[in-house]
A and B are shown apart, each in its own frame.
Chain A
Amino acid sequence: MSGVNWPGVGAIFQHEMSRFFRTVMQSLLSPVLSTVLYFVVFGAAIGGRIQSVEGVEYGAFIVPGLMMLTILQQSVSNASFGIYFPKFSGTIYEYLVSPVGWIEVTLGFVGAAATKAVLIALVILLTSFFFVGVHILHPVWMLAFLVLTATGFSLLGFIIGLWAKSFEQLQIVPMMVITPLVFLGGAFYSADMLPPFWEGVAKLNPVLYLVSGFRWAFFGIADVPVGVSLVAVGLMIAACCLAIRWIFATGWRLRE
């Protein structure tokens, strides 16, 4: 990637991360609290009635799903807010007049959003160790899925931030689309547990492939082949990159 303004990427990345560290307690406390609640409700209350899913204790079974839920929510909200805020405050002009193009801006914002999301997901994983015994079968793949998914959904969040013209629009996509997709994507159950028709419907949900691949990295079990999960993430990243490139080339919602 010769010709890329790497100090520019670093400046944006550092700038975005400093926002995270300014409010580190809120950034971490809220997802950790949510996770504890999920473990109490799903793990203890409901999990008491479900002994195991495909041989995995239910409390442990939902750990990848919880991490995935957090990764998706955090990636989208961090990236969308990150790029929307300069649009809102008017400082977006700096990115448009300086020698940074779509690659630098995307790497800076998306890199920071994905990093924050991964850090929070890892904190949730640590938290889960206090509640259930989790053994990670393929730790490297687990990390790879984590990073790839965070990247894919940070890119999606970045597009939402570029598109949004108000804070309402900024929140409506995560609320109306992302959360339902995660809940219906097998975060708290295996797709095999659904009736055949709904199992077919669930397989249209892209999040299912991410959760499935991620769970495979933990327990070696998956709803869909791991290769398909990887291709799904790859396709999502590629599609988002093309869309962002187009937005910067045309100036849509940026130079209007």
Chain B
Amino acid sequence: MRAMPGPITPGPSEKDDTMTAIIRIENLSKQYGSGTKALSGVSLDIHEGEIIALLGPNGAGKTTLISIICGLVVPTGGTVRVGGHDIATQWRAARKLIGLVPQEIALEPFETVINAVRFTRGLYGEGPDDAYIERVLRSLALWDKRDAMTRELSGGMKRRVLIAKALSHRPKVLFLDEPTAGVDVALRREMWEVVDQLRRDGVTIILTTHYLEEAEEMADRIGVINHGELLLVRPTADLMGEFGKKTLTIELMEPLAAIPDALSDRALRLSDDGRSLAYEYDTRADRTGIAHLLGDLARKGIMVRDVSTRQSSLEEVFMTLVAEPRQEVTA
């Protein structure tokens, strides 16, 4: 995972007041006509220049949240400010700051790449700037395809055209809704590189994803949504440290036939070949029990060849979170 970049605010208790919230969501809720509650009292500050990933199962409310901020869905309660502009009363100013890359690839098939990008720029009230559009297309490796019709492009290129369109008016905030849904591994890597470049350019990015590895790889902070509620928001590294379980693998000099009785009270697992012991511990615990375990092994004359640890994946962290009672939200 990449190093944590620049200014990141872990939560309100530790929030730096000088930090600028480019998006301020307060008590946002959405109930559809059918009575379905898609969002319940969501509050969140998103800071300039950060990448935040919204994680949640299908129907959790993450796309509804993005759709409200971008203007596709009207909320039933709460407020959203983008760059200080209320999205309901100052929607023109708010929307000018936003670029959206939708989940579904939606492009006019008979239009050329460059005209598609020019069109979006015009919609945002910006005059022609072919030098900037060239820069965007070059940065997304689309310049050679500028005169190709969008229907002639591969899936990955089409997705990059959507990003180019979303960037055409120099937005301060970019929403990526499931940017790598349904794309192969190589393409996913390619997309991550694009996002990394955008981060270096100072664009604030909010992405939703099903790929937890993606959030872990790209995001500075991760927000977990389930049943329309924001369960928590934490810096990615903190989340992994806080909720992550680690597994200590102890490789033995001599194989064991069984775990000695004196160690049976510890949650140890012996490998089938008897050559290694696995010990799972919670990184949040005051005492992990590792020192005692190693001491006990030495006292029993069990010689250790090597030790290694493995952090649980974000997927495991996520499953733990949505299964556990609601944590205190820190945004």
Binding site for B on A (CB under 8 A): 3, 5-8, 10-12, 14-15, 18-19, 22, 85-86, 89-91, 93-101, 251, 255
> Knowing A89-B106, A91-B106, A93-B102 touch, does A99 contact B124 (C-beta < 8 A)?
yes
Measured CB to CB, the nearest residue on chain B to A6 is: B125
Expressed in whole angstroms, the Cα–Cα distance for A95 and B165 within the complex equals 13
Measured CB to CB, the nearest residue on chain A to B107 is: A91
* A10 B92 Cβ-Cβ under 8 A: no
Measured between beta carbons, the chain B residues less than 8 angstroms from A90 are 102, 104, 106
B100 within 8 A of A: yes
* A22 B73 Cβ-Cβ under 8 A: no
Q: How far is the CB of B307 from chain A (nearest CB, A)?
A: 52
Stretch at the interface among B115-123, B204-212, B244-252, B268-276: B115-123
* A97 B107 Cβ-Cβ under 8 A: no
B281 within 8 A of A: no
Expressed in whole angstroms, the Cα–Cα distance for A228 and B76 within the complex equals 45
> Knowing A7-B122, A96-B72 touch, does A18 contact B115 (C-beta < 8 A)?
yes
Measured between beta carbons, the chain A residues less than 8 angstroms from B92 are 3, 5, 99, 101
Measured CB to CB, the nearest residue on chain B to A23 is: B110
* B96 A255 Cβ-Cβ under 8 A: no
Measured between beta carbons, the chain B residues less than 8 angstroms from A85 are 108
Measured between beta carbons, the chain A residues less than 8 angstroms from B123 are 5, 8, 11-12, 94-95, 98-100
Q: How far is the CB of B81 from chain A (nearest CB, A)?
A: 16
* B108 A98 Cβ-Cβ under 8 A: no
* A7 B71 Cβ-Cβ under 8 A: no
Expressed in whole angstroms, the Cα–Cα distance for A89 and B105 within the complex equals 9
* A91 B70 Cβ-Cβ under 8 A: no
Q: How far is the CB of B86 from chain A (nearest CB, A)?
A: 14
Q: How far is the CB of A72 from chain B (nearest CB, A)?
A: 27
Expressed in whole angstroms, the Cα–Cα distance for A15 and B124 within the complex equals 14
**Can you report 18 A-B residue pairs in the complex whose CB atoms are below 8 A from each other?**
A3-B92, A7-B126, A8-B124, A11-B118, A11-B119, A12-B122, A22-B110, A90-B104, A93-B102, A94-B165, A95-B123, A97-B70, A97-B71, A99-B92, A99-B93, A99-B123, A255-B72, A255-B74
